[in-house]
Structure 1
Amino acid sequence: MAMQSAPEPARLPLAEWILRRSRRVGPLAFGWLGRPFVYLVGPRANEFVFAHDDHFSQREAFKSLIPVDGPRSVVVSDGEDHERRRRLVRPGLHRRQVDGYVATMVRVADEALDALTPGEAFDAYAVFRAAIRRSTMRTLFGETMADHADAVGDLLQPLLDLTDLLPDLITWHERLRTPRWRRAMAARARLDAFVYAEIDRLSRPEGAGESQVLATLVHGRDGSGSGLSRDEVRDQVVTLIAAGYETTSAAFGWIVHGLSGRADIAESARRQLREVTGGRPPSAEDLPKLTWLGAIVNEALRLHPPGAISARYVVRELEFDGRRIPAGTTLIYSPYATHRMPEVYPDPLAFKPERWMDGLDPGAGEFVPFGGGRHRCLGSTMATTELTVMVARLLARGPWEWEPQRVTARGMASMRPHPGVKIRFA
């Protein structure tokens, strides 16, 4: 990869506003955004939020996701429903299970790279967004659903576009039955028909022996003998597909964007990759040894966390720094803001994976790309493993040259690179 000046880190307007305002008025401030809200900023604030899960409603905070994920998704669940659903989803995303997916991730990455035209520039974000979607479908749901990965992506897109709006705008689209809302609901109906058909297939006796996550969701039971209903399985399936490729592919785009100005880091990672693997594809056992790749992934998640801001809806009054936060308030915290605070990370806007190689060990609440507390992202191990494997396969084909371009962040709460990240192999 040719040496170039480091690209400017992208900024997300709402998260950037929270960060800048917190520097002026402190880590807590109230405001109005269609409804009362309060933002809390910094490591101590993050820990405070994660320690008080019982004061919040996840469902009310993330109700804008219900049109996509469904009303029974673990993401929009509270209390006992959340704990039960989380227990039943967790086994399929355990580290040992994810290790078994590495070979599939390698195969999908190589298929995507093999399809490129030599010498032509390509949008690494778009190419690997499709690849990560196919990988997610194969690893979580088997080859039957993976064969339809692109069609599922097309059905999901109108729903994902809808949830990129402010919650109150989504409510108005629903009430007015706008063309945007009708398109999204028509896509959801087709998506549901596809997912329910696969659930029903696995529910039959002959489907009990299959090993993918969907089969685990259909047949799994917790210690009390409880399992997921057909509708609950549907909602977990769609949640895992949508979250599994949308946020992971965004993070991949930011990795390539960051490496565009750091040919030295890319070469260090490539050299270590050759030393560890001897030129063969990486295995699950290799990944912990690929410390440069781990540092690159962490730095991209620090500088451009896919969930730049997150929310909780306060149902029980609580107090932070001597200030009362009443029930009925939407509480916002921001991994983006925390990760860009100079008192937490020196030179915070620089893409510096070497800081992780030099022994950086973030304290409580300082590195939170996947949230925290009871609602910490269940797919974090899957995401970091997939990112490591995909970047390893891209680096193995290198070096590459970055096509000069202005890349900005898109999304209301998430960070996606726009218009993409174009590169060409040298």
Structure 2
Amino acid sequence: MSRTDRPPRNGPLQQFRTLAELTFTPHRALLNQYRRYGPVSVLRNGRSRYVFLLGPDANDFVLSNSDLFSWHESFESLIVINGATALLVSDGADHRRRRQVLVPKFTQRIVDGYTESIRAAADTVIDGWRRGQRLDLSRELRSMVRRSTIAVLFGPRLAAEEARLGALVDEVLVVVDRAEPLQSLQRKGLPSWRRAVRSRAAVARRVAEEVAHRLRTGAPDDGDDVLSLLLAHRTPAGAALTDTEIVDQVISVTAASYVTSSAAMTWTALALLATPEEWRRCRDSIPGPGWRYLDGTVSEALRLHPPVALLPRAVVSGFEYGGLRVHAGDEVLISPFVTHRIGEVFPDPERFDPQRWDPHRPDHRKPGRHEYFPFGGGPHRCLGAGFALAELTVLAEQLLRRTTLRLDEVDATPVGLADMQPRSGPHVTVLSVD
């Protein structure tokens, strides 16, 4: 039996420790898993078998062989928020049909046209800040990203309710952004799970009301947002999109966009706030043509703190990799968080270095899709990746242009696997605001 076909350290005590570490300190545990056992290892928990395929070569294999995995089974735990027909939990022909409907609103040309709406959303939040005010910046940025995302994708009526809708979505995220052992316990009917189900239902009702309003007023043909596009493909027969599919796409795209983007924006802001020199250098680079230091800062923040640290894949067709036989029913786990911190891929990987992304540096090397994938990869790569990157950049520009902030305190320990945030903060004081 090969080393990779054995549980870590071959003993139940070590397995228990590893499982506990993954449950309570998952980011440290992921790095330890790779350092201890290399790119291929196995962990068993009862009848469940988890196969860790870590590092760029393993990523390349998994991302290039999507037919071996079921996305519906991989992300079944997210149905409580996304809905059963959401793009994220779709496979095969249903996935291709639903994705094809949405693609036109996420081309680079269209995304470039969202800039002013994103900037306006940032300004709406910044306009409420005052000199000397102390802020929980992560909360402010979450509101900023949520307003931007909903306004651009689903129009001003829903954007005006972003605080209420966001609070409801956050109640659902509480139960999905946890390690699987805790999720399984919650699904047995704990109060947190019942609250999540009620909150999701409330969001669905509000989205359905907006759909009815647009159909009643004729807005589907006049609007220029994603909801208008979805309604243009509406059909009771289901050849394009049913009403249930439309509601699920609205909720899932909103949740995925604002959750991952707000997490990434928090880490980006924290990087800007690290030193006054970093803030000044990014601010001064804004008007520059071509590659800018700010662009490198955003890319580096996404490298060290990708919004989703761990990507599961439910195996439906067995295969062999690295001398290990992987069976149908196993769960494969790949990790952008681990890959982005491997020294062979990114030299001195723990150092925050925006200039490693400067294409004019003599030693610059553009990483492959299997080496740098903060928004996932393969046929199911996040459809809104280009939008998220544009959103992060524009929001950072507005922070730099309009404010000067002082970092007061932060616990930068990463928490959350599907919504990786600093454990606490950052808390800042507004030194100036224009």
Relative distance call for 1:79 and 1:210 in structure 2 (3 A) is same
Shift of 1:356: 0.8
Aligned residue type for 2:409: P
> What 5-or-longer segments of structure 1 have no aligned partner?
1-11, 277-287
Q: Which residue of 1 aligns with 2:40?
A: 28
> What does 1:16-415 correspond to in 2, within 5 Å?
16-34=28-46, 35-175=48-188, 177-204=189-216, 206-207=218-219, 208-220=221-233, 226-273=239-286, 275-276=287-288, 289=290, 291-357=292-358, 358=361, 359-415=364-420
In 2, Cα distance between equivalents of 1:352 and 1:399: 22
In 2, Cα distance between equivalents of 1:310 and 1:188: 23
Share of identical aligned residues, percent?
37
Aligned residue type for 1:365: H
Shift of 1:290: 5.7
Aligned residue type for 2:162: A
Conservation of the 8 A alpha-carbon contact between 1:272 and 1:290: no
Relative distance call for 1:321 and 1:170 in structure 2 (3 A) is closer
1:238-263 per-residue CA deviation (whole Å, 9 max, x = no partner) reads 01111111111111111122223243
Q: Pick which of 246-255 and 27-36 moved more.
A: 27-36
In 1, Cα distance between equivalents of 2:417 and 2:329: 22
Shift of 1:63: 0.6
Aligned residue type for 2:312: A
Relative distance call for 1:363 and 1:421 in structure 2 (3 A) is same
- 3-state DSSP class of the match of 1:406? strand
In 2, Cα distance between equivalents of 1:391 and 1:290: 15
Shift of 1:361: 1.0
Conservation of the 8 A alpha-carbon contact between 1:64 and 1:163: yes
Aligned residue type for 1:140: L
Conservation of the 8 A alpha-carbon contact between 1:309 and 1:414: no
Aligned residue type for 2:110: Q
- 3-state DSSP class of the match of 1:311? strand
Q: Pick which of 13-22 and 49-58 moved more.
A: 13-22
In 1, Cα distance between equivalents of 2:86 and 2:380: 12
Relative distance call for 1:33 and 1:393 in structure 2 (3 A) is farther
Shift of 1:398: 4.2
Q: Normalising by structure 1, report the TM-score.
A: 0.89
In 1, Cα distance between equivalents of 2:195 and 2:75: 21
Q: Pick which of 303-312 and 358-367 moved more.
A: 358-367
Q: Pick which of 152-161 and 60-69 moved more.
A: 152-161
- 3-state DSSP class of the match of 1:22? helix
- 3-state DSSP class of the match of 1:327? coil
In 2, Cα distance between equivalents of 1:243 and 1:98: 17
Shift of 1:424: 2.5
Conservation of the 8 A alpha-carbon contact between 2:234 and 2:243: no
Q: Pick which of 13-22 and 26-35 moved more.
A: 13-22
Conservation of the 8 A alpha-carbon contact between 2:406 and 2:428: yes
Q: Which residue of 1 aligns with 2:423?
A: 418
In 2, Cα distance between equivalents of 1:157 and 1:209: 31
Conservation of the 8 A alpha-carbon contact between 1:18 and 1:39: no
> What 5-or-longer segments of structure 2 have no aligned partner?
1-23
- 3-state DSSP class of the match of 1:404? strand
1:85-116 per-residue CA deviation (whole Å, 9 max, x = no partner) reads 11112112222222221101111111211211
CA RMSD, Structure 1 to Structure 2 (Å): 2.0
1:104-160 per-residue CA deviation (whole Å, 9 max, x = no partner) reads 111111121121121223222111110110111110011111111111112112111
Relative distance call for 1:252 and 1:33 in structure 2 (3 A) is farther
Residues matched between the structures, number: 400
Conservation of the 8 A alpha-carbon contact between 1:15 and 1:334: no
Q: Which residue of 2 aligns with 1:3?
A: none
1:321-375 per-residue CA deviation (whole Å, 9 max, x = no partner) reads 2321111100000000000111111111111111112334113411011111111
Q: Pick which of 37-46 and 158-167 moved more.
A: 158-167
